[in-house]
A and B are shown apart, each in its own frame.
Chain A
Amino acid sequence: MGLLYGLIAVGLALIFGLMDVVNFAHGEFLMLAMYVTFFLFTFFAIDPLLSAPLAAAALFVLGAVVYLVIVRFAMRAKANVGMVQIFATFGLAIVMRGLAQLFFTADYRSVPNSWLGGKTVSVAGIFLPQPQLFGALVAIAAFGGLYLFINRTDFGRALEATREDPGAVALVGIDKNRVFALGWGLGAALVGLAGAIMASFFYIYPDVGASFALIAYVTVALGGFGSVFGAFAGGIIVGLVEATTALVLPPSLKSVGIYAVYLLVVFVRPRGLFGSM
């Protein structure tokens, strides 16, 4: 579970690190990815396993469009920049939730009997539900891929350079807007991947994003905003804390443990565990 949290969070961290913007519609991106997976399964009987790349691709487009249509202008605001960013993405989140209610209705959906669903694997005597295990594997693969991508490709380097100094980048002929749009696309694609995996073992409904989004913010803040490795580590910590809390407290309180740990960490290290001070 922690790895999945990490996967949800890493897209957020990527965008924040790139341009210092928190996407408050991140949870709704996740929700949408889950619906994409659901409909692909229902209408075309495409297994979540196979639709994951499709969901990622769809979200990539969505992320890029959101940047070009909304965020690009939000960053141009002269006054109240922080406020504008928060409320522009928030407004988007509300619209997306409304659209989901309108078109997908508020019913709870699920992807039944997927290729992986309901089966368990036994690893060293411990039974693990197969979808989760698979999700963890995908998450690890995605992190590995992302790491290579950022460090080894031209685009990754452009991303890194733009985050260091957008002005200087413009001078060497890189279009800042294109890099940012691709960054948003990439961040959204990662959450699309996470959504596709999660669709096979979570109920899907219009508000599903909200609960995961808060955990994603906590994960990102815990690891240190903007740090991809931090999001990964933060995800694992959150997963562990959640599992531990579940042993001690009633299930309705399981998130309290995560939140409490988060608060402790940021109060001691305001920029998170792996953030630069």
Chain B
Amino acid sequence: MDKSFTERRRRELLVAASLTVAAALVPLFIKNPNVQNIMILTLMFGALSQSWNILSGYCGQISLGHALYFGLGAYTTTLLFTKFGVPPWFGMLAGGAISALIAMALGYPCFRLGGHYFAIATIVIAEIGLLLIQNWEWAGAALGIEMPVRGDSWLKFQFARSKLPYFYFALALACIAWFVTWWLEDSKWGYWWRAVKDNPDAAQSLGVVVFDSKMGAAAVSAFLVAIGGSFYAMYVSYIDPGSVMGFQFSLLMALPAVLGGIGTLWGPLLGAIILIPLTELTRSYIGGSGRGVDLIVYGTLIVVIALARPEGLIGLFSRRKEASR
């Protein structure tokens, strides 16, 4: 029964696998470290946005405070490593777990708030987190902390000479985030989340436990974002509160999904592929001479997308497919 559905799901997996293989081959040909850096950031933000999309896109709870979980992941990993010598791999999982728990603890009161109230509460909470870390001496306060360099090692995930390991890790991250989304899309949770987003009352009447749905989405989303934060900390090996927990990070996580298509499987990655290189390029080419131009380009893009194509750029693809059918 319903062959077309099973086929579509299989085709999605196939496309993702081919894209992964193709992406994995790219650094063999492109050796320019700056370009590699952009690719790593693109994959990372793709993964982050995909994770943000689970709570905000699928479940419809627009969070503008996801930098909190990103920062928690980065700080947990860095602190465990520098203060206790715990390998980042464990720090990463610990950061994810802590973030998921905090997301659920915060979700308990926050999910009673609707719409704008929820979005503003998330900004405020992330801001409190930022202020607390900024004033926490042991964690480096406003100056931040540096990952001590201990030589190339897989265990410590440090590589001074090559960006390749980081690239493959970022690729794996993007794959995991995509796959988790893909898998959840056709699960009870996926349906529950979309039902909650579209109409909580109707969802409830059909046996959907709205509160649990939101909690589940928040936990998964925060966990994955924290993993991304851990990776970022290892990659740049120096973190400070403003750069990992600032509001702009929350925004950067949301934008690729908004641009590509909020609440869609491919939207966040598509958005990241367009947005991150664009940001980096404007920053390096015009950013130096006339500061502010990158912001103008960026902001205009958001306004135009939000107004002209609220379903995101991914809509262009699906519409064409429908027309050809």
Contact = CB atoms under 8 A, between A and B. Distances in A.
Task: Decide whether A and B assemble into one complex.
Answer: yes
Interface of A: 16, 22, 70, 73-74, 77-80, 82-84, 86-88, 90-103, 105-106, 206, 210, 214, 217-218, 221, 225, 250, 252-253, 255-256, 259-260, 262-263, 266-267, 270-271
Contacts of A266: 113, 117, 121
10 contacts: A87-B306, A91-B300, A99-B292, A101-B291, A106-B291, A106-B292, A218-B120, A259-B124, A259-B131, A271-B117
A64 to B, nearest CB: 17
Contact of A94 (B123, B128, B131, B302): B302
Contact of A252 (B112, B114, B134): B134
Given A95-B296, A101-B292, A255-B131, A74 B307 contact: yes
Contacts of B316: none
Given A206-B292, A250-B135, A262-B124, A94 B299 contact: yes
A225 B263 CA distance: 28
Given A80-B311, A83-B258, A88-B303, A102 B121 contact: no
Kindly name the residue among B62, B120, B254, B298 whose own CB sees the greatest number of chain A CB atoms within 10 A.
B120
B262 interface: yes
Interface of B (DSSP majority class): helix
B45 interface: no
Contacts, number: 144
Interface in B261-314: 262-263, 290-307, 310-311
A175 to B, nearest CB: 22
Contacts of A225: 116-117
Instruction: For chain B, give the interface size range.
Output: 35 or more
Contacts of A80: 262-263, 310-311
A98 B120 contact: no
B210 interface: no
Contacts of A77: 307, 310
A92 B131 contact: no
